[in-house]
Structure 1
Amino acid sequence: MAQWRSSRRDNEDGVRFPPALTIFLVLVSCVLVAFDRPQSRPEVLSDVRAAFNDAAMPLLEAAAWPIRGVRNMGPWWRRQFELAEENRELREELAELRAWRDVALSLRDRVRVYEQALNLETPAARERITAWAVAERAGPFVRSRLLGVGREDGVEAGYPVVNIYGLVGRTVDVGRRSSRVLLLTDLNSRVAVMADRSNARAMLTGDNTDFPRLDYLGSHPDIQEGDRIVTSGDDNVLPRGLPVGEAVRDRHGQWRVALYSDAAPIDLVWIWPFDPVDPPEDEPPLLVPPAGDRPVAASAPGLEGTAAGGEEG
């Protein structure tokens, strides 16, 4: 028993450090920590540290490459499955779009035949004007945008402005090199629209919210949730058939429109030139010919003899 305690004491004495060495090591550690700060690090120490990192980087990179490969193996295979699923969905969507393209082409040909049969003249398509829109912080309207095109580019007041999703608004103030667009959500915006399914007419009224109202629908409107709303052209302000949005109900039961143009920021827009239908001119008054040029009215048969007898008598 005494022998076991003696050997344990010898082992404990063997692993102990002298107090002087311990204090020296603590001081060296404090000095290294103090000099390791970027603002107080000596230039020589920084150079030595950078050289050591440069020398050790290839070895660390070679050692970490297998670990990094094993770690990225799971996300890589998961991404492959996601890409395969996305590719399958895109193929299905492409097949459906091809079917819709065939339908659109057939309808286009049918419309041309109908136009020829009815002797209809469609308005000539004009080149659209591309512009970048910027938000306007101060102006006469609450919700409007400024465009970098104006009269020099062919823009006139009242032209419809669209983005890749649908109608944005119409131009109201046009300068030489800039123009202002009144958005559909502005309080001053009024656009005649209709439901594409039932041709139910309404007035799209902006109220400074993201969902403008549908006013003047009537007591029993033929409109359903999700109906596609397009411009009707009844106001002779915008052309017929421009996509606007989908019909939705708010919490008060009032019909509103979720605008297609809100699907993306309003930055790149196109301005479509539109010439409204001019009212017919007043017909000029009929000119009364002079007395000498008036045609002589024929006399009645019974009065000819009377006139002659009167002259003879």
Structure 2
Amino acid sequence: MARKGPDYAAPVRRILVSLLVLLLLGVFLFWQIDSPRAERMRSAVIDRFVPSFEWVLAPVTRLSRMVAGFESYARLYEQNQELRRELQKMSAWKEAAVQLEQENAKLLSQNNVRIDPALTSVSGVVLTDSGSAFRQSVLLNVGARDGILDGWATMDGLGLVGRISGVGQTTSRVMLLTDPSSRIPVTILPSGHHALLSGDNTAVPALDFIESPEDLRPGDRVVSSGDGGVFPPGLLVGQLAQASDGRLRVRLAADYGRLEFLRVLRSHPSERLADTGLLIPPPPAEFIGPPMPLQINTDPAALPPAAPEDGND
């Protein structure tokens, strides 16, 4: 076997490392000396060697500028997106303000109208959510003992939630607007067009049988129309939205994710008049214009007989 020669690399490495440490230590100590002569020497070293390393620092400087520019672009993009979101919110608030102004003007013009005193409410607590793939409903802790009747409308703090579809002694079932069997007539404001809101097991139910879809705009208010006596008119349902397939849907105003308390609206059908004889009939129509001329009958047969003549004359 060949014998290995002496290893000179390890001692040389140790010597070079020791010299590098001593050099760095000397530079550190030299840089810490507080002396005018040492300061002049440090300035001369900086002026001599630092400018020659600009070509080394150029890529680093350019890369740092690129990173700063990218960060600035990212901040501008985020600010732009935030401004877009704020603009959309402001547009929605503007539309809401315009609609409230219109509604306020109507109410001011009708300030002598008497509100229906029968439209009161009973508040109840949601016991459980019994929704499924084929049924969307919740249970309330109010029932027949509280005067609840089948078909009454239920609302949360803002919008319409559904209607009573089953009444027990102490509980009642509320069928939500998202239930596939739910169909309610609605009015779209400010156009006043009528449509039918149909539940389809989604959070945004669809509109059917729309009168004039071209007159509608996303964001229009949707309220109950009161047609058919299903719900009282004017109850807020939500806002109009357009799906990706172009179909018009309603973004419900009620917070379906947190249904804790519901208000059951007491709504009684309007009184029907059965005895029409008690109604005051309208006066008979009279002829309007100059009086008709008097007609003279010239038929001899229609004339009265003449009186007999007296013979003494």
The structure-2 alpha-carbon separation of the partners of 1:235 and 1:178, relative to structure 1 and needing over 3 Å to count, comes to: same
Q: Per-residue displacement from partner, 1:102-135 (whole Å, max 9, x unpaired)?
A: 998876453223x3xxxxx642144321111133
Q: Per-residue displacement from partner, 1:132-171 (whole Å, max 9, x unpaired)?
A: 1133437896100000001111211111100112000010
Measure how far apart 1:264 and its partner are: 4.9
What amino acid does structure 1 have at the position aligned with 2:137?
S
Matched, 1:160 2:153: yes
In structure 1, how many angstroms separate the alpha carbons of the residues matched to 2:130 and 2:169? 21
Matched, 1:111 2:82: no
In structure 1, how many angstroms separate the alpha carbons of the residues matched to 2:107 and 2:209? 33
**Contact conserved, 2:126 with 2:139, CA < 8 A, in 1?**
yes
Residue of structure 2 equivalent to 1:191: 184
Measure how far apart 1:255 and its partner are: 0.5
The structure-2 alpha-carbon separation of the partners of 1:177 and 1:105, relative to structure 1 and needing over 3 Å to count, comes to: same
What amino acid does structure 2 have at the position aligned with 1:162?
M
Measure how far apart 1:182 and its partner are: 0.5
In structure 2, how many angstroms separate the alpha carbons of the residues matched to 1:246 and 1:139? 25
In structure 2, how many angstroms separate the alpha carbons of the residues matched to 1:268 and 1:102? 30
What amino acid does structure 1 have at the position aligned with 2:223?
V
Provide the aligned C-alpha RMSD in A: 3.4
Measure how far apart 1:220 and its partner are: 4.3
The structure-2 alpha-carbon separation of the partners of 1:259 and 1:105, relative to structure 1 and needing over 3 Å to count, comes to: closer
**Contact conserved, 1:200 with 1:221, CA < 8 A, in 2?**
no
In structure 2, how many angstroms separate the alpha carbons of the residues matched to 1:183 and 1:175? 18
What amino acid does structure 2 have at the position aligned with 1:111?
Q
The structure-2 alpha-carbon separation of the partners of 1:145 and 1:156, relative to structure 1 and needing over 3 Å to count, comes to: same
After superposition, residues 191-210 of structure 1 pair within 5 angstroms as 191-210=184-203
In structure 1, how many angstroms separate the alpha carbons of the residues matched to 2:131 and 2:110? 46
Which deviates further from its counterpart, 196-205 or 137-146?
137-146
Residue of structure 2 equivalent to 1:272: 265
Residue of structure 2 equivalent to 1:83: none
Residue 255 of structure 2: SS of its match in structure 1? Answer: helix
**Contact conserved, 1:165 with 1:263, CA < 8 A, in 2?**
no
Residue of structure 2 equivalent to 1:142: 135
Residue 120 of structure 2: SS of its match in structure 1? Answer: coil
**Contact conserved, 2:131 with 2:138, CA < 8 A, in 1?**
no
Residue 123 of structure 1: SS of its match in structure 2? Answer: coil
The structure-2 alpha-carbon separation of the partners of 1:104 and 1:211, relative to structure 1 and needing over 3 Å to count, comes to: closer
Residue of structure 2 equivalent to 1:16: none
After superposition, residues 1-313 of structure 1 pair within 5 angstroms as 108-113=107-112, 115=113, 122-137=115-130, 142-218=135-211, 220-262=213-255, 264-277=257-270, 281=274
What amino acid does structure 2 have at the position aligned with 1:175?
G
What amino acid does structure 1 have at the position aligned with 2:144?
R
Which deviates further from its counterpart, 127-136 or 221-230?
127-136
What amino acid does structure 1 have at the position aligned with 2:110?
V
**Contact conserved, 2:130 with 2:139, CA < 8 A, in 1?**
no
In structure 1, how many angstroms separate the alpha carbons of the residues matched to 2:152 and 2:138? 14
Measure how far apart 1:249 and its partner are: 0.9
The structure-2 alpha-carbon separation of the partners of 1:184 and 1:200, relative to structure 1 and needing over 3 Å to count, comes to: same
**Contact conserved, 2:193 with 2:212, CA < 8 A, in 1?**
no
How does the TM-score come out when normalised to structure 1?
A: 0.51
Residue 164 of structure 1: SS of its match in structure 2? Answer: coil
In structure 2, how many angstroms separate the alpha carbons of the residues matched to 1:152 and 1:228? 36
The structure-2 alpha-carbon separation of the partners of 1:147 and 1:254, relative to structure 1 and needing over 3 Å to count, comes to: same
How does the TM-score come out when normalised to structure 2?
A: 0.51
What amino acid does structure 1 have at the position aligned with 2:140?
L
Which deviates further from its counterpart, 155-164 or 132-141?
132-141
In structure 2, how many angstroms separate the alpha carbons of the residues matched to 1:139 and 1:279? 40
Query: Could you say which structure has the higher helix fraction?
Result: 1
**Contact conserved, 2:204 with 2:250, CA < 8 A, in 1?**
yes
* Structure 2 stretches lacking a partner, 5+ long: 1-93, 278-313
The share of aligned pairs that are identical, in percent, is 33
What amino acid does structure 2 have at the position aligned with 1:159?
W
* Structure 1 stretches lacking a partner, 5+ long: 1-95, 116-120, 285-313
